[in-house]
Amino acid sequence: MAVIPLNKFRTITHTLTSSAVGIYTCPAGVSSLIIYGNVSNIGTGTSVTQFSAFHSRSSVDTEIVSKASIPSDDAMNFIQGRLVLETGDILKIQSNGDPDVMKVIISILENAK
């Protein structure tokens, strides 16, 4: 059996699309703490785009933020405080506007159970 590190920091980046995509799934034998989550609108002009983020457990999606608006050249933290994920939990995110103009970055601390 492989040894899981006690504490492992990870950074995930992703360009949002119009589909709710799982950008992180908590691995087996691990509890994860999402310590930072930010979405930026890299669009030009006066575009305002929206995004939604979800915590998914056992095929049940719970909204973290729903249709949050971000003007071009601006950003928003969508994790206020911390979010705990257990084995198999998924963090999903999607753009509700123009695809490929929003980017997300999350910081994660994975801990062995």
Number of Cβ within 10 Å of residue 66's Cβ equals 11
Average pLDDT over residues 42-61: 89
State the pTM of this model.
0.88
Q: How confident is the model at residue 113 (pLDDT cuts 50, 70, 90)?
A: confident
Q: 2.40.50, 1.10.10, 1.10.3210, 2.60.120: which CATH number matches 7-112?
A: 2.60.120
**Spatial distance between the Cα atoms of 48 and 111, rounded to a whole number of angstroms:** 37
* % of the chain beyond a pLDDT of 90: 73
pLDDT of residue 41: 92
Coil, strand, or helix at residue 96? Answer: coil
**Spatial distance between the Cα atoms of 38 and 19, rounded to a whole number of angstroms:** 18
Average pLDDT over residues 46-65: 91
**Spatial distance between the Cα atoms of 86 and 36, rounded to a whole number of angstroms:** 17
Structure token digits, residue 27: 């691995």
**Spatial distance between the Cα atoms of 74 and 57, rounded to a whole number of angstroms:** 30
Q: Where are the domains of the chain?
A: 7-112
Q: How confident is the model at residue 49 (pLDDT cuts 50, 70, 90)?
A: confident
**Spatial distance between the Cα atoms of 28 and 55, rounded to a whole number of angstroms:** 17
Q: How confident is the model at residue 5 (pLDDT cuts 50, 70, 90)?
A: low
Per residue in 84-98, pLDDT tens?
999 999 999 999 877
The DSSP output letter for 2 is: P
Whether 84 contacts 19, CB under 8 Å: no
**Spatial distance between the Cα atoms of 113 and 110, rounded to a whole number of angstroms:** 9
